[in-house]
Amino acid sequence: MGVGSYPLLLLVLIIYLISSLGTGIKDEPVAPIEALNVQKIVLTDEGFTLKVLNSGPDEATISQVLVNDAFWNVEFHPSATIGRLAQTEIFIPYGWVEGDPYEIKLITANGLIFSGEVAVAAKTPVPDGNRVAQYALIGFYVGVIPVGLGLLWFPFLRRFSDRGMQAVLALTVGLLFFLVIDTFEEGLELGAEAPGVFQGTGLVWFGALLSFLFLLALDQANERKGSASGKKIAYKIAGGIGLHNLGEGLAIGAAFASGEAALGTFLIIGFTLHNITEGIGIASPLLKERPTWRTFLALAALGGGPAIVGTWIGGFVFNDTLAALFFGIGAGAILQVIYVIGKMIVREAGKNGRPAVSWTNFASLTLGIALMYATALFVSI
């Protein structure tokens, strides 16, 4: 055993002594410290099934359950006592009415109250073949089709001069800048809803930082082998946008799973309009190349296909903690793409003896942000 292991052994010994002997302070806490999180509420013909997580420091026991302020007999699986970071399921035999709202309160043995809400009662969808196909079609409408339609602008964009191509790249930066802000906001909102023990908002920042650094290291490794082609950069843009569209699918799937079909339909229309501009950004690095139709199909699938996966996750297994992490990873990927395109603009401007931050590029960047903002007005989450 090496000398370097001694500090670790001493650390383990100290933690053991503190946990077994205590600190010597005998004061009892003024109030019990408990934290229960209702992870999911499943509605079936027989009633409600709640999946509850104990994110507090100690075990907690649920003594009573209320549905709309009425006490109700329930069944616990495996137990009413939940250990730290453990889960239990609560089955409530209740004749709910479709479309009605319900509030379910959990009262612990210490008298603390935790609640879960069903905004609009509707039977929770099960992942059968029909539902899986329906969600896949929704994701295809929201992701693949609008991105593909945006890519159809490629022949028109190729008519631009070098200065026009620079402006298109600046426009892409504006589009992506709006997306990265939007992605961070959505991730932080979900992270705040996640159980505190999992540090949901922290996961957004960690995911963004690590994905940005990972892609940056990968990009630098490729640069040592040769300069990155426009096709590679287009695939990077499509990948970053795809992660963002996965988040959009999460929102749509969660809306349908919670019974808010009207909201889900509105989101489909809004995101479809919103995502058409993304295809323009993906096509911009290809303006000096001659891509084949297979390249465009692959880019449309990479940029829009994750919306299908996101709709499945949101509709069947939505989880605030994982969703916050996904949004963070997506934001980091988009930031890295902005960095790469920014380098392209500076490099190309230097070759032509023009400033990278020209009035034309500034106007194009502003237009990109304005376009995304205008189309985002069709979306309300």
Measured at the alpha carbon of residue 277, what is the angle toward residues 275 and 281, in degrees to the nearest 5?
115
- The backbone torsions φ and ψ at residue 104, rounded to the nearest 5 degrees and listed phi first, read -115, 125
Predicted local distance difference test score (pLDDT) of residue 379 = 62
Predicted local distance difference test score (pLDDT) of residue 51 = 92
Regarding whether 222 and 94 lie in a shared domain, the answer is no
What confidence category does residue 113 fall into, taking pLDDT thresholds of 50, 70 and 90? very high
Regarding whether 86 and 134 lie in a shared domain, the answer is no
The residue range of the domain holding 322 is: 129-376
Contact 282, 234 (CB under 8 A): yes
Predicted local distance difference test score (pLDDT) of residue 146 = 87
Regarding whether 49 and 156 lie in a shared domain, the answer is no
Rg over CA atoms, the chain: 26
Select from 118, 139, 168 the last residue of a domain.
118
Q: What are the residues whose beta carbons fall under 8 Å from the beta carbon of 95, sequence distance 6 or more?
A: 47
Predicted local distance difference test score (pLDDT) of residue 221 = 66
Contact 96, 43 (CB under 8 A): yes
Q: Which residues partner with 108 through β-bridges?
A: 62
Q: Is the pTM of this model over 0.85?
A: no
Amino acid letter for position 172: T
Greater confidence, 277 or 328? 328
Regarding whether 368 and 229 lie in a shared domain, the answer is yes
Contact 34, 112 (CB under 8 A): yes
Regarding whether 167 and 97 lie in a shared domain, the answer is no
Residue 107 predicted with pLDDT over 90: yes
Predicted local distance difference test score (pLDDT) of residue 30 = 58
Regarding whether 145 and 88 lie in a shared domain, the answer is no
Total count of domains within the chain:
2
Each as own residue / partner, the long-range contacts of residues 346-350 (CB below 8 Å, 24 or more positions apart, any chain) are 348/162, 348/165, 348/166, 348/169, 349/166
What number is the average pLDDT over the span 85-106? 92
